[in-house]
Amino acid sequence: MDDLTARLKAEALRLGFNRVGIAPAVSPPGYPNFLRWLDEGREAGMGYLRRNGPAREHPDSILEGVRSVVMVSVVYGSKRPVGEIGPRSGKVARYAWSDDYHRVLWDKLGALLDWLRAEHPEARGRVVVDTAPLLERDFARLAGLGWIGKNTMLIDRHLGSFTFLGALLTDLELVTDRPHETSHCGTCTRCLDACPTGAFDGPNRLDARRCISYWTIEHRGPIPDFEAGQLDGWVFGCDVCQDVCPWNRKAPGGRMPELEPRSEWLEPDLFGWLDEDQETWRARLKGSAASRARRAGLLRNAALVLGARGGVEAVAALARRLDDREEDATVRAAAAWALGRIPGDEAREAIARHRDDEDPVVREAVREAAARSTEDPGGSG
């Protein structure tokens, strides 16, 4: 298998992956930690993690008879940093700037599996890109691709942490790589200290209940009052703990053409988001990782970010969303929340028009917004 393993790795690199390594199909060392994380309720509302928890104990739940896990990584995004943004703009996590990485990696790993089957017709395999209960970062470490940093991200000394991971499971017993045993985080705690919401209460201790990425991507429906005011300008995901990591300072930008950033996701105009029609949104979300949050989630996030800023220039756009009775109740409730934090009569009047709204979710949000507006004439949060 030495020759086959070497040629398989060469083919993976030819397909455009930055790194490739092979891990044995074993129970991942981090599985007990994952179970403790679930026991502590840190998965927030991501119930699928708990439901699929037992399946993550061993990769044979994905492919019966699996012997080897081929792990690949590819750098995403550009070296363009997200700095100060304007009063109309929001921030989107770098991984969603391009076309949906799931499809890109799935196609390339599928081509790698086809190559393997051509070499060994009897080989069985399955491709995984966030699509099966596999602890990818654990297997990436076992395959020698890096260590798991204090922010729970896989870090490669040369590539940094802005990398997508994918896996090819096979029943062939390939030559495995030495696991990455050491951590190179040292005494650095920049990722933990920089988190805007304090989602880390120690190294490798992420609480999704306080994580901006969870609230802006995974959570459905209205966001609770406190968390709604803590989004820090992010309308999809959050990159803060990676942006401050020293290992990303000299890391390369992405080189895969299929993952080139799409301009509309770099610094989106949130006023425009609120006013765009359904057809425009369908076109924007087609083939985008941001579709995970759906249009309603993204508009909810946009309204909350604008409300937290308290700029009166956002009132008209927010009022139009609140006034549209055909709009999703979550979006309308977020618009009401935002208007309650913006000073001036125009915002208060927009809220007052909906004191008796037919939708109970909107009506409750309007009631709370009106109370806040009355208590705090300045509209500050």
pLDDT, position 1: 77
Of residues 42, 34, 37, 28, the one with CA closest to residue 71: 28
Just list the catalytic residues: 130
For 344-381, write each residue's pLDDT tens digit: 999 999 999 999 999 999 999 999 999 987 665 444 43
**Tens-digit pLDDT profile for residues 276-331:** 999 999 999 999 999 999 999 999 999 999 999 999 999 999 999 999 999 999 99
pLDDT at 376: 57
Contacts of residue 114, Cβ cutoff 8 Å, sequence gap at least 6? none
Q: Are strands 154-155 and 147-148 parallel, antiparallel or unpaired?
A: antiparallel
Phi, psi of 93 (to 5 degrees): -60, 145
Number of helical H runs and strand E runs in the chain: 16, 8
- What is the torsional sign of CA 100, 102, 105, 111? negative
The rounded Cα 290 to chain-centroid distance in angstroms is 9
Alpha-carbon gap, residue 51 to 49, rounded angstroms? 6
13 alpha carbon, distance to own chain's centre: 25
**3-class secondary structure per residue, 213-233:** HHHHHHCCCCCCHHHHCCCCC
User: Could you say which of 3.30.930.10, 1.10.3720.10, 1.10.10.10, 1.25.10.10 is the CATH number of the domain covering 269-381?
Assistant: 1.25.10.10
Identity at 85, one-letter amino acid code: I
CA dist., res. 159 & res. 170, Å (int): 26
> What are the contacts of 354-359 at 24+ separation with CB within 8 A?
354/322, 354/323, 357/332, 358/325, 359/325, 359/329, 359/332
For residue 78, the model assigns a pLDDT of 75
Structural domain boundaries in the chain:
1-250, 269-381
pTM of the model: 0.94
Query: CA 25, CA 310: separation in Å to the nearest integer?
Result: 52
Q: What are phi and psi of 101, to 5 degrees?
A: -65, -25
Q: How far apart are CA 44 and CA 155, in angstroms?
A: 25
R_g of the chain, CA atoms, integer Å? 23
Alpha helices in the chain, H assignment, sequence order: 2-14, 31-39, 47-51, 101-119, 136-142, 190-194, 212-213, 225-228, 240-243, 270-275, 278-285, 294-309, 315-323, 329-339, 345-352, 360-375
pLDDT at position 379:
44
**Residue 13 contacts by C-beta under 8 Å, 6 or more apart in sequence?**
20
- Give dist(CA 118, CA 159) in Å, integer: 31
Per-residue pLDDT of the chain (381 residues; tens, 9 = 90+): 799 999 999 999 999 999 999 999 999 999 999 999 999 999 999 999 999 999 999 999 999 999 999 999 999 987 665 556 888 999 999 999 999 999 999 999 999 999 999 999 999 999 999 989 999 999 999 999 999 999 999 999 999 999 999 999 999 999 999 999 999 999 999 999 999 999 999 999 999 999 999 999 999 999 999 999 999 999 999 999 999 999 999 999 898 999 999 989 999 999 999 999 999 999 999 999 999 999 999 999 999 999 999 999 999 999 999 999 999 999 999 999 999 999 999 999 999 999 999 999 999 999 999 998 766 544 443
Predicted pLDDT of residue 31? 98
270: closest CA among 238, 237, 239, 304?
304
Cβ contacts of 42-47, under 8 Å, gap ≥ 24: 42/206, 42/207, 42/208, 42/209, 43/208, 44/207, 44/208, 44/209, 44/211, 44/214, 44/218, 44/219, 45/214, 45/218, 45/219, 45/220, 46/208, 46/214, 46/218
Q: For residues 29 and 117, give the distance between their C-alpha atoms in angstroms, rounded to a whole number.
A: 30
Which residue in this structure is represented by tokens 């959570």?
Answer: 219
Facing residues of 126 across strands?
Answer: 169
pLDDT, position 380: 43
